[in-house]
Amino acid sequence: MAVPKKKTSHRRTRQRRAHDSLNAPNLVACKKCGEMGMPHRACTTCGYYGDKKVLDVESGLAKKLKKQDNKEDDKS
């Protein structure tokens, strides 16, 4: 196994990790509903991309609720 010859100094460690910070995601407001979301992606709240409806949000929500109900039935 390769073993480091010298202990990595605090300064070297900090210098290496200076580039490791995370940036906040760049969010834009939906033109239809005003909800914040990722740019160049369909809105997950209203299902619109620009002025076109591309996602069936209601059916997805119904599916999710049904799944939750099934989970709760399993518990009781």
* Rounded least distance, CB 48 to Zn ion, Å: 5
For Zn ion, give the closer residue by CB, 35 or 69.
Answer: 35
* CA dist., res. 73 & res. 76, Å (int): 5
For Zn ion, give the closer residue by CB, 13 or 61.
Answer: 61
Tokens of 69: 């109900």
Please give the sequence-ordered ranges of beta strands (E in DSSP) within the chain, or none if there are none.
Answer: 28-29, 36-37, 48-49, 52-53
* Rounded least distance, CB 52 to Zn ion, Å: 12
Single-letter amino acid, residue 76: S
Q: Residues interacting with Zn ion, by CB under 5 A?
A: 30, 32-33, 35, 43, 45-46
For Zn ion, give the closer residue by CB, 56 or 69.
Answer: 56
